[in-house]
Structure 1
Amino acid sequence: MNTALLLVDIQNDYFQGGRNELVGADIALARAQEALSLFRDKRLPVVHVQCVLLEENATFFLPDTEGIGIHERVSPQSDENVIVKHTPDSFFQTELQSHLESLQVKRLVVGGMMSHICIDSTVRAAHRLGYEVVLLGDACATKDLVWNDTVIPANTVHDTFMASLDGTFAQVTNTAGLNDMI
């Protein structure tokens, strides 16, 4: 089965000093880097997704800023496609699906940021489009959320989204077992 790695929004604004720092971003980055190395070693396709927000009220991923850059530790190589998106769903109004079809990809291994928005949206869209999805839970990160004046810790947010995606929209696993799956 043709399998591709999809790294979603692993961009500078999500790391220390960025405009929207996430909890556990460095740990997720290290796991994403492991998956990337594995895919490169096996010469399997890698696709990077880069978000650029165009809304007037956007506070991060602003055009022409360092924050939109893909983190240097997972920087795309010349043979790796970069898909630019402007919404949480990596498939919406992008060339992602046509690119994956051109490679005859049937299974996606996904990692990136943020678990509760872009990862959730992209995984659900991929499933709807017929892809088999493997989600690397330890290669994703998110942030604390606030609802009804209650802070919901990032770990709870992340775990809730991984649990809701697992089994229905994706097989959620950790990077350590990836080599045996591809």
Structure 2
Amino acid sequence: MPAALLIIDMQVGLFHGPEKACDGERILANIQRLIAQARQQQVPIFAVRHTGPEGSPIAAGSPFWQLLPALELDAEIDTLFNKSRPNAFHGTELAHQLKSRKIENLYIVGMKTQFCIDSTCRAAVDLGFKALLVADAHTCMDTPALSAQAIIEHHNATLGGAFARLIDSADISF
């Protein structure tokens, strides 16, 4: 079945902000390997940036809004787009672009687990896509209520099955 890789909010201001992403370097390395594999197998890559309102640290065009340079994404071959809501489909052309390419399997990675990863996995299923949540390629930060690791484990357990198939990055062959 045709597949695509969806990278959510791997932005300078989120990843390198004052609150550190849980296991960030390992997550980044896993995503980098998936990007290389997608390129090798000619699997389309979609990368989305969360865009805050004018004056916010992640307002369009600000340094913190930029996608991580380490991802080596290329606007000439990758589909880069912006969103203003947690759900990467809301107010964007993502569903249309995926359907026009006949994409069925959507591998989801990035940040933040409890917000944009969660919302996008649930929406993908509602829109008829098969969401595959890469269990070792999404992250978030600690909160006052829960550690980031607990949030990630909880969301893997909650989303896995009902909303997404869980898969480890090492087990992916697009």
Q: Give the TM-score, by structure 1 length.
A: 0.89
Q: Distance in 2 between matches of 1:99 and 1:3?
A: 12
| Residues 93-151 of structure 1, C-alpha deviations (whole Å, 9 max, x = no match) | 011111111111111011000011000000000011110111111111111112xxxx4
Instruction: Identify the residue that residue 100 of structure 2 maps to in structure 1.
Output: 102
Q: Distance in 1 between matches of 2:15 and 2:161?
A: 30
CA gap of 1:55–1:137, structure 2 versus 1, over 3 A, is farther
**Does the 8 Å CA contact 1:13/1:21 hold for their aligned counterparts?**
no
Instruction: Identify the residue that residue 177 of structure 1 maps to in structure 2.
Output: 171
Given the alignment of the two structures, is residue 129 of structure 1 paired with residue 145 of structure 2, yes or no? no
Given the alignment of the two structures, is residue 67 of structure 1 paired with residue 44 of structure 2, yes or no? no
SS at match of 1:145: coil
Instruction: Identify the residue that residue 36 of structure 1 maps to in structure 2.
Output: 35
Q: CA deviation at 1:37?
A: 0.6
Given the alignment of the two structures, is residue 159 of structure 1 paired with residue 158 of structure 2, yes or no? no
**Does the 8 Å CA contact 1:4/1:47 hold for their aligned counterparts?**
yes
Q: Distance in 2 between matches of 1:136 and 1:46?
A: 15
CA gap of 1:26–1:155, structure 2 versus 1, over 3 A, is same
| Letter paired with 1:154 | A
Percent sequence identity over aligned pairs: 27
1:19-98 alignment runs, 5 A limit? 20-54=19-53, 58=56, 60-77=57-74, 78-98=76-96
| Letter paired with 2:148 | A
Q: CA deviation at 1:73?
A: 1.7
SS at match of 2:136: strand
CA gap of 1:67–1:20, structure 2 versus 1, over 3 A, is farther
Q: Distance in 1 between matches of 2:155 and 2:81?
A: 24
Aligned counterpart in structure 2 of residue 144 of structure 1, from 142, 145, 148:
142
| Residues 38-67 of structure 1, C-alpha deviations (whole Å, 9 max, x = no match) | 1100011111111111177x5x42333211
| Letter paired with 1:129 | L
SS at match of 2:172: helix
Q: Distance in 2 between matches of 1:174 and 1:14?
A: 23
**Does the 8 Å CA contact 1:88/1:122 hold for their aligned counterparts?**
yes
Instruction: Identify the residue that residue 6 of structure 1 maps to in structure 2.
Output: 6
**Does the 8 Å CA contact 2:87/2:116 hold for their aligned counterparts?**
yes
Gaps of 5+ in 1: none
**Does the 8 Å CA contact 1:8/1:113 hold for their aligned counterparts?**
yes
Q: Distance in 2 between matches of 1:114 and 1:13?
A: 12
Q: Distance in 2 between matches of 1:61 and 1:172?
A: 30
Q: Distance in 1 between matches of 2:82 and 2:121?
A: 17
